[in-house]
Amino acid sequence: MENAKYKQVQDEILSRLQSGQYVIGMRLPTESEMSKSFGVSRVTVRKALELLVRDGYLTSRQGSGYNVAAVSPPTTTCLASYTDQILREGRVPGAKLLRLEAHAEQVPASVKSFFDEPLSMVERLRTVDGQPTMLTQTWIPRRRAPRILESDFPESGQNQSILRILRQVFELAWTSACESMDSIIPDPEMARLLKLEPGTPILSQACTAFDSDGRPVFFDQVYRKGPITFDLAGPAPRQTS
């Protein structure tokens, strides 16, 4: 019975994270306060919180309680939320919608190699503190997002995260991903959007997510400027900048 209780507390805290009641950087109520709120023991609350720390949603420091670190589960490099990362750093992320193609006609060969069906494409310019940092193109099977709208893609706040949009708006689910990286020279329009000198190399990251049956769920192509580093501690590498 106690096991069921800590799972209920864990699920409720996750629900509050995803609904925006608990936001990134926020300190959670104390164990004592949550114990009273949920009607369970502090031991039960602590176990739920420790599991959320283990999964990367929260951070814990002795004497400082628990703080929200992420809203999307940072399971792998390309499935870690960029929005969450920027918010943790105390900076302001942005996501300007450049193009929405509900019925994409021109699909790159790299995307076609995974999908043998009609696709939708969303192109966004990601910014940090108002400055452009990345150009992203997200490809989604049309059958999974049959009523895709511009209003589905907020340009500010923590829900601009493409991972949260795909999970919460389109109810997509994935369990794994593969990623490839390369350096490219951007075309003139891409250089203009990213405010780069012509000929400046940038990083190209392609991420394909798969469901539990190994079927592709979405393809995310990211073009970004600046250095990138990884935190290799723990069970899976995590992108840090």
Give pLDDT tens digits for 139-161.
999 999 999 999 999 999 989 99
Residue 209 pairs in a beta bridge with 177, 218
Residue 131 pairs in a beta bridge with 128
Helix (H, G, I), strand (E, B) or coil at 221: strand
Q: What is the pLDDT of residues 108-151, one digit of tens each?
A: 998 999 999 999 999 999 999 999 999 999 999 999 999 999 99
Q: Phi first, then psi: what are they for 195, rounded to 5°? A: 55, 55
Helix (H, G, I), strand (E, B) or coil at 35: helix
Percent share of the chain, pLDDT over 90: 54
Q: Which of 158, 201, 154, 163 is nearest to 182 (CA)?
A: 201
- Do the Cβ atoms of 176 and 210 come closer than 8 Å? yes
Identify the band that residue 21 occupies on the pLDDT scale cut at 50, 70 and 90. confident
Identify the band that residue 233 occupies on the pLDDT scale cut at 50, 70 and 90. very low
Is residue 68 scored above 80 in pLDDT? yes
Q: What is the topology classification, in CATH, of domain 82-239? A: Chorismate lyase (3.40.1410)
List, as own/partner pairs, every contact residues 51-58 make where C-beta atoms lie below 8 angstroms and the sequence separation is at least 24, other chains included.
51/6, 51/10, 52/10, 52/13, 52/14, 56/238, 57/14, 57/17, 58/28
Q: What is the pLDDT of residues 173-199, one digit of tens each?
A: 887 788 888 899 999 999 999 999 999
The dihedral built from the CA positions of residue 32, 38, 39 and 40, taken in this order, carries a sign that is negative
Q: Cβ–Cβ contacts within 10 Å for residue 217, how many?
A: 21
pLDDT at 202: 94
Is residue 237 scored above 50 in pLDDT? no
Q: Which residues contact 196 (CB under 8 A, 6 or more apart)?
A: 186, 202, 225
Answer CATH for 2-68 from 3.40.50.300, 1.20.120.720, 3.40.50.1100, 1.10.10.10: 1.10.10.10
What are the domain boundaries of the chain?
2-68, 82-239
Q: Are domains 2-68 and 82-239 of this chain identical in fold?
A: no
